Amino acid sequence: MTATPAFKRRIRFFFHSLGLSCLGGAIFLQALVFADILQNGFFMAVEQNPAILAFEVVLTGFAVIYFIYIYQRLMRQVK
């Protein structure tokens, strides 16, 4: 059994939407961290909720995998 082309397109769209959202969120958070460092001279973040911490770790892992995927895809197109 094979998936329909429309289903594959939706899955690919979801994958890219989630991946680009993770990368965009990471860039935004880095801007906030740097702004805090400029104002206070240091940055300290402590997450007390283990569920939120686990979710953040999973999203970070997904963002790294997505970044590597996009990078490899781009490099293959440049060849």
Give the model's pLDDT for residue 22. Answer: 87
Long-range pairs for 4-9: beta carbons < 8 A, 24 or more residues apart: none
| Whole-number pLDDT of residue 1 | 57
Give tens-digit pLDDT for 24-43. 888 888 888 888 889 988 88
Tens-place pLDDT, residues 53-79: 888 888 888 888 998 999 898 888 876
- Structure tokens belonging to residue 76: 């293959």
Model confidence at 20: pLDDT above 80: yes
Nearest to 66 by CA among 24, 30, 36: 24
